[in-house]
Amino acid sequence: MSTGTVPKPIAGTSSFLDDRLGAGNFLKRNLRKVFPDHWSFLLGEIALYSFIILLLTGTFLTFFFKPSMGHVVYEGSYEPLKDVTMSEAYASSLHISFDVRGGLLMRQMHHWAALLFVAGMMVHALRVFFTGAYRKPRELNWLIGVGLLTLALLEGLTGYSLPDDLLSGAGLRITEGVAISLPLVGTWITFFLFGGEYPGEDVISRFYSLHILLIPGILLALISAHMVLMWVQKHTQMPGKGRTNTNVVGAPFYPAFMAKAGAYFMFTFGVIALLGTFAQINPIWLFGPYTPADISAGSQPDFYMGFLEGSLRLMPAWEINVLGFTLPLSVLIPALVPMGIIMTGLALYPFIEQWVTGDRSEHHVAERPRNNPHRTSIGMSAITFYGVLWLLGANDEISSFFHVSLNWTTYVGRVLVFVGPLVAYIVTYRICLGLQRADAAVIGHGVESGVIKRLPHGEYIEVHVPPNEAIEAHVRGKTPVPMIAGTDADSDGIPPKGMRGPLGKLRAKMSKAYGGEKIALDDGHGHGDEHGEHAEVGPGKDDKSLTH
């Protein structure tokens, strides 16, 4: 290439390293590694960069924070709390906020970065789910992702318990109330966690080592594994012109992707700095030190715990006493079941889908959500289920803001948590089919040009033009959802092997419902031409046999 020679200092260092590491071979293969481009591929990066910012700001905070529940009399510079007895943890959190320059900024950035970290993971997971990017060969990376999300919730919980203010203590108390409700081991777990009775003097230092060492260590290892797998398996790409299951089209790692990633890191960092500067978060000095005797109304956890809070609020007062033992279902069910459904459902989905579709092939082209309507509907139901619980976690705020009865928000929530997902499923399914039909219309009829033409015999028509080739390629990237071939019974009425028995029959039935082409792209073609009556195409007027 005619791009000159490598400058001496760089060449010198590179040879030094290559002589010792053989890095040249790796770089030769990877410097120009191609990364596909799509805005939705950037969502996970928000989480990644937030994690780095969490490590940076968190390290700063550890220089000043004292994870001790020992009592001290506050002598710092925040006047309203002067001479108040409090834990050393709370006193040092106040010290960071008011007596360390940039301390409040770092605290607020740390908290905002934590929110963005979890939010980034959530939307990233949704993107991966709805585009089917978890399919073979990426199931392992998906599982790592589910693990990361779970750990992130735990990391958040241990983190916001540390300052030992009244709000964080309320969270800790609820954690204790949930832990102690566990059958058989509840009291043991609680006494071991708190080193005795609640609150004891141990829990903050224990949470501290979990929060700054153990969990972030595991997170770091899993995030690295997540990145390495992504690198090795190469990123999925959206369907489009020239993109196939056996290639990857996009920009090279060096220099374009590297520079873009750097810019994106800076954007994330900048936005977190912006939030940390201008948007107050967790003003602990207003809450006062923790005491189990007090609480402020409207206490809320961070947003990612909201769904657990909501499910606790929604639950009717069920408690069973058998043989002298107590099973507090009104705590156990809401604390374990929704989380269990969501996390287990996420973890198992790739494998259940494989079982249902019988599809064991590799997939590297992402699916548009409309093109797998059942998956998209399941995802939307899950979002609705989560969303209802999450909203109900703030039912006191809803009640006071909209002036509705608090009890009625709960009653309505109890119904919505079951009905909402069902409605979401049906609505989403219809929308997906509608969008597929619109795609079929674009391929079959072309795109409305807006030009009205009068034919010699007086009829008016709208002229349609073929779609732009990039768009056509994108739409044509659709493939039917795989299904198990030959699930039907043979002429003697005997189903094929593996499809017998109740489970086999269920599988065959699910496969038929889940898989297959609901609306073929060519369905839009030719139909309606002979009648020549209607001047519009698209969803709405197609024949009803296409809907399910």
Partner 1 sequence: MTDTNHDIEQPDGRVPRRVIGTPSPATGTSLLGTDEHHAEGVADVPGVIPQNEQTARKGERVAALCFTVTFLAAVAFVVSYVAFQVGDVETTQVSTLALGGSLTLALLALAAGIVVWVRMVMPKYNLVQERHPMASGPEAREYVAETFLQGAAESGITKRPLLRRTLLLAAAPLGVLPLVLLRDLGPRYSDFPSKLRHTVWGEKTKDGKNRRLVVEGTGAPIRAADFNSPGGILSVVPEGYEHDLNALAKATLILIKFRPEEIKSGTNKNWTHDGIVAYSKICTHVGCPAALYEQTTHHILCPCHQSTFDAADGAKVIFGPAARPLPQLPIAVDNEGYLVATADFAVPPGPSFWERGDAEAEVRENGGHA
- Range 317-356, binding partner 1 (CB under 8 A): 317-319, 321, 324-328, 330-331, 334
Q: Which stretch binds partner 1 (CB under 8 A): 11-19, 113-121, 182-190, 336-344?
A: 182-190
* Residues within window 351-410 making contact with partner 1, judged by CB under 8 A: 362, 364, 368, 395-396, 406-407, 410
Distance CA 27, CA 30 (A): 5
- Counting contacts by CB under 8 A, is residue 290 touching partner 1? yes
Q: What distance lies between CA 168 and its chain's CA centroid?
A: 25
Three-class SS state of 382: helix
- Counting contacts by CB under 8 A, is residue 534 touching partner 1? yes
Could you give the count of Cα atoms lying within 13 Å of 159 in the half-sphere of its Cβ? Answer: 31
DSSP codes joined into one string, 342-377: HHHHHHHHHHHHHHHH---S---BPPPGGGSHHHHH
Q: Which stretch binds partner 1 (CB under 8 A): 16-24, 77-85, 214-222, 377-385?
A: 77-85
* Residues within window 28-47 making contact with partner 1, judged by CB under 8 A: 32-34, 38-40
- Counting contacts by CB under 8 A, is residue 269 touching partner 1? yes
Distance CA 502, CA 480 (A): 26
CB of 78 to partner 1, least distance (A): 7
H or E element: which one contains 91? helix 88-99
* Residues within window 407-446 making contact with partner 1, judged by CB under 8 A: 407, 410, 442, 445-446
Pick the binder of partner 1 from 298, 340, 486, 498 (CB under 8 A).
Answer: 298
Pick the binder of partner 1 from 145, 163, 276, 350 (CB under 8 A).
Answer: 276
Distance CA 30, CA 26 (A): 6
- Counting contacts by CB under 8 A, is residue 71 touching partner 1? yes
Site string for partner 1, 114-133 (x = CB under 8 A): --------------------
Q: Which residues contact 195 (CB under 8 A, 6 or more apart)?
A: 201, 202, 203, 206
**Residue 101, burial from CB neighbour count under 10 angstroms (0-12, 13-18, 19+):** exposed
CB of 141 to partner 1, least distance (A): 12
Which residue's CB is nearer to partner 1, number 334 or number 487?
334
H or E element: which one contains 465? strand 460-465
Instruction: Record the tokens describing residue 338, joined without a space.
Output: 């929704």
Site string for partner 1, 469-488 (x = CB under 8 A): -xx--x--------------
Which residue's CB is nearer to partner 1, number 171 or number 511?
171
* 436 close to 367: Cβ distance less than 8 angstroms: no
Pick the binder of partner 1 from 267, 281, 476, 517 (CB under 8 A).
Answer: 267
Q: Are strands 34-35 and 71-73 parallel, antiparallel or unpaired?
A: unpaired
Counting every residue written for the chain, the total comes to 548
Distance CA 212, CA 463 (A): 65
- Counting contacts by CB under 8 A, is residue 192 touching partner 1? yes
- Counting contacts by CB under 8 A, is residue 78 touching partner 1? yes
* Residues within window 196-255 making contact with partner 1, judged by CB under 8 A: 196-200, 206, 233-234, 238, 240-242, 245-252, 255
**Residue 35, burial from CB neighbour count under 10 angstroms (0-12, 13-18, 19+):** buried
CB of 368 to partner 1, least distance (A): 6
CB of 16 to partner 1, least distance (A): 26
Which residue's CB is nearer to partner 1, number 175 or number 357?
175
Pick the binder of partner 1 from 113, 121, 148, 315 (CB under 8 A).
Answer: 315
